[in-house]
Chains A and B, each alone.
Chain A
Amino acid sequence: DIQMTQSPSLLSASVGDRVTLSCKASQSIYNSLTWYQQKLGEAPKLLIYDANSLQTGIPSRFSGSGSGTDYTLTISNLQPEDVATYFCQKYYSGLTFGSGTKLEIK
C-alpha cells in the first residue's frame, strides 16, 4: 500500500505570509493528488486536483505543485479565513488521505 505523509502536523504563520505544506507518498503517485481544506466543524472542501489544478471558485492564492512522490500546497498572502486543517489525498492505486496539517495564525 502507498502511504501518505504530511508535514508539518501543525503550522503557525502570520497574515500575509507565504506558507508551504508538504505531502509525500511512499512511491510515485503520478500527480494523482488532491488537497482539501477543512475548517473547524465543517465538511472538507476541494482546493486542488491533479496535483496542480485549482478547483473552480478557489482563490488564486492557493496553488499546488510537485511530481513523483513529493507534493506541495502553497498559500500565498495568508488570510485569517485560511485557518483550517489541510488534507492531501492520493487516488493512484487506491484512495488514501494524509494525516493533515493544522494551520494557525500567529
Chain B
Amino acid sequence: QIQLVQSGPELKKPGESVKISCKASGYTFTDYAMHWVKQAPGKGLKWMGWINTYTGKPTYADDFKGRFVFSLEASASTANLQISNLKNEDTATYFCARGAYWERDVMDAWGQGASVTVSS
C-alpha cells in the first residue's frame, strides 16, 4: 500500500538548519509530484510548494522562497525539505503529500508529519 514515512521530531535553536525526509513506498516515486505543507501549532494548513520528482525541479510558494529547499534522493524514493537559519515562527509540523495522478495539486496521500520546534 502507498506510504509516506517522515523523519522524527527535531528540536533546534534559532539560526540552525534542519532537514526533514519523506520516504515513499508502494508506488513509482518519480511518477507523482510531492508537495510540502506547513501547520503551525493550533493553526491551519499552509502550502509551501512542490517538487517534480522526475526532473527534480522545485516550485516554492511566495512565503517559502529563500530559506527553504526541496530536494530528492530518487534512488531511495525520498523527498527532503531543508530549512536554514531557523526562526521561532518555523516551529510547526511539516507534511509531505503526494500529488494525485489525475491532478497534480490534489494531495491523495500524506506523510504522518514531522514536528520541528525552534527554541533557544
Instruction: List A residues at the B interface (Cβ < 8 Å).
Output: 32, 34, 36, 38, 42-46, 49-50, 55, 87, 89, 91, 95-100
Complex Cα spacing A89 to B100, Å: 14
Surface stretch bound by A, among B72-80, B81-89, B104-112: B104-112
Residue of B47, B109, B111, B112 with highest tally of chain A CB at under 10 A: B47
Q: Which residue of B lies closest to A98 (CB)?
A: B44
Contact B45 A46 (CB under 8 A): no
Query: Taking A95-B47, A97-B44 as contacts, is the C-beta distance between A45 and B103 under 8 angstroms?
Result: no
Complex Cα spacing A97 to B50, Å: 15
Residues of A within 8 A of B113 (CB): 43
Q: Which residue of B lies closest to A97 (CB)?
A: B45
Q: A31: shortest Cβ distance to chain B, in Å?
A: 11
Residues of B within 8 A of A45 (CB): 110
Q: B110: shortest Cβ distance to chain A, in Å?
A: 4
Contact A44 B110 (CB under 8 A): yes
Contact A44 B107 (CB under 8 A): yes
Contact A43 B110 (CB under 8 A): yes
Judge whether B29 is part of the interface by a CB distance below 8 angstroms.
no
Complex Cα spacing A44 to B37, Å: 10
Complex Cα spacing A95 to B107, Å: 11
Contact B106 A34 (CB under 8 A): yes
Contact A91 B44 (CB under 8 A): no
Complex Cα spacing A44 to B109, Å: 9
Q: B47: shortest Cβ distance to chain A, in Å?
A: 5
Residues of A within 8 A of B95 (CB): 43-44
Query: Taking A43-B95, A43-B113, A55-B108 as contacts, is the C-beta distance between A49 and B103 under 8 angstroms?
Result: yes
List 8 additional A-B contacts (Cβ < 8 Å) besides A43-B112, A44-B110: A43-B110, A44-B95, A45-B110, A50-B103, A87-B45, A89-B107, A91-B105, A98-B44
Contact A44 B105 (CB under 8 A): no
Residues of B within 8 A of A100 (CB): 44-45
Complex Cα spacing A105 to B107, Å: 27
